[in-house]
């Protein structure tokens, strides 16, 4: 059995298999051909943080695959009153067929997976947001970006950036990360990505100059400067990120037909200007829709690998 906790746990081939499944199921869905790949299966969805896209896409996705989603807010289940993660895992995984969790520390989801009898999917932790990055890759392909040169401008030490590092280093494309000083990526995750990059041929660079990162890129992306759980740091973060807005003058340095991606929710006037957000709205909302399709690929792949005995990803 495999869990989907981070992109780092999968080979390039496995990640591409999931993307292929997503493309196939998306095409079927678009012709109203709802193949029941996960008939009568239940997906438990545990949320310790807020969500719009993750909740709606997983709940709709499992339903369209022939199953049902159970929305479990931590405020409403005993987890929120202190029942241990490992007990929650041992109970819920005896009743459902797959679990998706959105939580704080990445160790929480690792603990859950350790005790779970069914595959566990990371719906965002403080360290990683892998389902979003699989979605972003699907979106880049649909936008015709075959050889990505991605510029990420903003907070380095967050779930999006870390997942970009994993995606680029596993699939072998170019990623340039520009962050303010003091907001660089986690060093252990950088080290891990650089090891993968050696094998895949990915080019990954880090710096503090948004212009250097964006020059010649064909994908520009960013994320909120204040992630969930960092609300107390809001004022100091907004000061520290001054100069890191993705606006018209910055993006003009990218390739002419460069796309702009944002996982959403977006804060206009902070990490992205209103003008650039609206100019690239087609790509951004295609990306949002693709959560539904990419996650179907991941769920079906995990279901097909329930008897997998490989140690990778465990
Ligand atoms: N991008 C994303 O995960 O959105 P939500 O927080 O709304 O789920
Ligand atoms: N980095 C953001 C992503 C939101 C989808 C956060 O964790 O809040």
Residue in the structure block whose two tokens are 């005790």: 115
CATH architecture of the region 7-129+291-304: 3-Layer(aba) Sandwich (3.40)
For the chain, the structural domain boundaries read 7-129+291-304, 132-287
Tokens of 249: 């003058």
Protein residue closest via CA to atom 2 of ligand 2:
227
Give the Å distance between the CA of 78 and the centre of ligand 2. Answer: 25
Determine the atom of ligand 2 nearest the C-alpha atom of 264: 5
* Entry pTM: 0.97
Please list, in sequence order, all residues whose beta carbon lies within 8 angstroms of the beta carbon of residue 156, skipping any fewer than 6 positions away: 177, 179, 183, 184, 185, 206
Coil vs helix vs strand at 228: coil
Tens-digit pLDDT profile for residues 256-267: 999 999 999 999
| pLDDT for res 82 | 95
Which residues lie below 8 Å from residue 256, measured CB to CB, with a gap of 6+?
none
Distance of alpha carbon 108 from the chain centroid: 17
- Do 168 and 149 form a contact (C-beta atoms < 8 A)? no
| Average pLDDT rounded to a whole number, residues 180-189 | 98
pLDDT for residue 29 is more than 60: yes
Average pLDDT over residues 191-197: 98
CATH ID of 132-287, from 3.30.420.40, 3.40.50.1370, 3.40.50.2000, 1.10.10.10: 3.40.50.1370
Q: CA 313, CA 4: separation in Å to the nearest integer?
A: 7
Check whether 44 has a pLDDT greater than 50: yes
pLDDT band at 35 (very low <50, low <70, confident <90, very high): very high
Which active-site residues does the annotation give? 102, 129, 132, 223, 263, 291
Is 241 a residue whose pLDDT tops 60?
yes
Q: Which of 48, 102, 160, 263 for a ligand 1 pocket mutation test, highest count of atoms within 8 Å of Cβ? A: 263
Nearest residue by C-alpha to atom 1 in ligand 1: 263
């Amino acid at each position: 059995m495999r869990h989907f906790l981070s992109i780092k746990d999968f080979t390039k081939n496995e990640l591409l298999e999931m993307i292929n499944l997503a493309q196939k199921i998306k095409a079927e869905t678009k012709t109203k051909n709802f193949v029941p790949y996960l008939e009568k299966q239940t997906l438990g969805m545990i949320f310790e943080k807020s969500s719009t896209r993750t909740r709606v896409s997983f709940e709709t996705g499992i339903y369209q695959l022939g199953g049902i989603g159970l929305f479990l807010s931590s405020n409403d289940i005993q987890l929120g009153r202190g029942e241990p993660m490992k007990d929650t895992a041992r109970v819920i995984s005896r009743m459902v067929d797959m679990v998706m969790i959105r939580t704080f520390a990445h160790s929480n989801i690792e603990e859950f997976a350790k005790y779970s009898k069914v595959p566990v999917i990371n719906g965002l932790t403080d360290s990683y947001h892998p389902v979003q990055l699989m979605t972003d890759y699907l979106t880049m392909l649909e936008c015709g970006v075959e050889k990505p040169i991605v510029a990420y401008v903003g907070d380095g030490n967050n779930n999006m950036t870390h997942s970009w590092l994993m995606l680029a280093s596993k699939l072998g494309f170019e990623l340039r990360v520009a962050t303010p000083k003091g907001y660089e990526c986690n060093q252990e995750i950088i080290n891990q990505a650089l090891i993968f990059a050696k094998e895949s041929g990915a080019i990954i660079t880090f710096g503090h100059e948004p212009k250097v990162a964006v020059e010649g890129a064909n994908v520009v992306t960013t994320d909120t400067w204040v992630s969930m759980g960092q609300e107390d740091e809001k004022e100091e973060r907004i000061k520290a990120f001054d100069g890191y807005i993705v606006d018209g003058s910055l993006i003009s340095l990218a390739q002419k037909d460069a796309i702009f991606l944002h996982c959403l929710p977006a804060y206009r006037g902070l990490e992205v200007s209103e003008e650039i957000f609206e100019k690239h709205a087609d790509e951004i909302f295609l990306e949002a829709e693709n959560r539904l399709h990419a996650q179907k690929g991941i769920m079906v792949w995990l279901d097909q690998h329930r008897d997998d005995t490989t140690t990778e990803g465990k």
